[in-house]
Amino acid sequence: MRGRRDLRAFVELPFHLHSNAPQWVPPLKLERYAHLSKRFNVFFERGEAELFLARRNGRVCGRISAQVDHALNRHHDNSWGLFGFLEMVDDAEVCSALFEAAGEWLRSRARDRIVGPMDFTMNDEVGVLVEGFDLDPMVRQPWQPPYYSQRIEEAGFGKVIDLLMWHLMVDQRDKVLPIIWDMAEKLEPEHGITIRKMSRRRLREDLDAFAEVYNAAWADNWGSVPYSKKDLDGYWAELQLAFDPNWFMVAEKDGETVGMAITVPDVNQVLRKMNGSLLPLGWWHFLRKSRTVNRVRVGFLGVKPEYQHTGVAAGLYAEHYDMAEATPQKGGEMGWILETNEAMNRGMEAMGGQVVKRYRIYDRAL
C-alpha cells in the first residue's frame, strides 16, 4: 500500500461495504488512522506490519494486514505470522488474492503459519463473527456478514479456537446461583479482601497492578502476551475516553491487588450516531454519551491464581450487580472468553449468562 490516498481507501472500505447493514457500527476514522500509525500505536514497538488493498477495475474491493508480533512469538515460542483488518466483497478470488499477498509478505519474514484475524493483537478487535450476526457489536467487537467465514474456509483456513461473548442482565439477581452471593459475602470477613473503585487520577498506577493480575492469570492462555510498560501507556491513553469510576474495580488484600475488573460503557451506541466523524455533530453526541449508553462490556475480569479459591471473582460479580442498580447500565456482555476457559465459562453459566456471539480465529500453514 502506498501513500495517503491508499491509507484513506483502507480506512473507508468498511463504510462502503457495510453502511447498509443495520448492525454495523462505523468506527471513528481519526481513531482508525491513529491505530494504523507507527507513530501512535505501541504495537510497532514490538512488531511490524504491512497493509494491502485489492482492486478490481480500479475500484477497491478488499483489504488485509500482515503482521509479525515478536512479543507473541517469544512468549509462545513459535514462528507465526498474523493477519487482520480483513474486509472484502463477497468474491472468492478477492479473498484468495488478499491471503496470497499477506502470506508472501509473511513467508519473506520466515513465518511458518498465518493466524488471525487480529487488528493487530488479541487485545484489539479480533476474530471473525460466526454466530450472532443479528446483534449489534459492542465496543471493540467486529461485525462481519456470514460470507466472511465461508470465504476464509474456502481459502484453506481451519478453525483454531472460538471466542465467546456472554450476555448478562446484571439487574436480574434471581438468575444467579446462590453460591455466588454466599462467596461474595464471605470475601472480606473470611479472607480480608475488599473491593474499591479506580479513580482517573490513579488510573495509570492501577494499570501497573492490572498487568500483574493479567500477566499471572492469563500467562498460559492461547494467544496471550504479557503487558509491557509501553503497552500500559497505550492502554491508559485509550481508556481515558471510556473511563467510568462505577465500573473500574480493584480487589485488594493488605494493599496487594489480587483481582481486577475493567468494564467499559458501550460507546458503540454513541459511535453509531457519529457516523465515523466528530463533525458536524459527532462531538455533541459523544459529550452526551451518558444519556445514550445503557449497556457495558466486561472486557477484563481476572484474579491472581493464588487467590482464585477465595471468591474474589464472586465479589467482583456482585459489585457489578450493585452498579447496575445505581447506574443507567443494566446489562451487557462479558468477554471475549476462550471456549477452552472452563472456569470462566462455568462462572458465566452460574451468573445466568447466555452465549450470544462467537468469534473464530483461523490459521493456515505457509
The predicted pLDDT at position 21 comes to 95
Q: Tell me what the mean pLDDT of segment 9-36 comes to.
A: 94
Q: Which CATH class is domain 167-359?
A: alpha beta
Query: How many Å apart are CA 227 and CA 75, to the nearest integer?
Result: 11
Q: Considering the chain, what is the average pLDDT of its residues?
A: 91
In the predicted structure, residue 292 carries a pLDDT above the cut 90: no
What lies within 8 Å, CB to CB, of 304 at 6+ separation is: 212, 213, 216, 217, 258, 259
| Predicted local distance difference test score (pLDDT) of residue 279 | 40
Q: Where in the chain are the domains?
A: 3-161, 167-359
The third-level CATH classification (topology) of the domain covering 3-161 is Aminopeptidase (3.40.630)
Query: Which residues are 75's β-sheet partners?
Result: none
For residues 253 and 287, give the distance between their C-alpha atoms in angstroms, rounded to a whole number: 37
Instruction: Catalogue the long-range contacts made by 154-159 (C-beta closer than 8 Å, 24 or more residues apart).
Output: 154/92, 154/95, 155/92, 155/95, 155/96, 155/99, 155/364, 156/364, 157/362, 157/363, 157/364, 158/362, 158/363, 158/364, 159/360, 159/361, 159/362
- Checking if the pLDDT of 280 tops 50, the result is no
Under DSSP, the state recorded for 168 is E
Which grid cell is 314? 464472586
Domains 3-161 and 167-359 alike in fold: yes
Task: Categorize the per-residue pLDDT at 174 as very low, low, confident or very high, splitting at 50, 70 and 90.
Answer: confident
Confidence of residue 276 (pLDDT cuts 50, 70, 90): low
Model pLDDT for residues 45-85, shown as the tens digit of each residue: 999 999 999 999 999 999 999 999 999 999 999 999 999 99
- This prediction has a pTM of 0.93
Angstrom distances, CA of residue 272 to CA of 50, 190, 277: 29, 46, 10
Would you say residue 173 has pLDDT above 50?
A: yes
| pLDDT tens column, 216-264 | 888 788 999 998 999 999 889 888 878 889 999 999 999 999 999 999 9
pLDDT at 287: 46
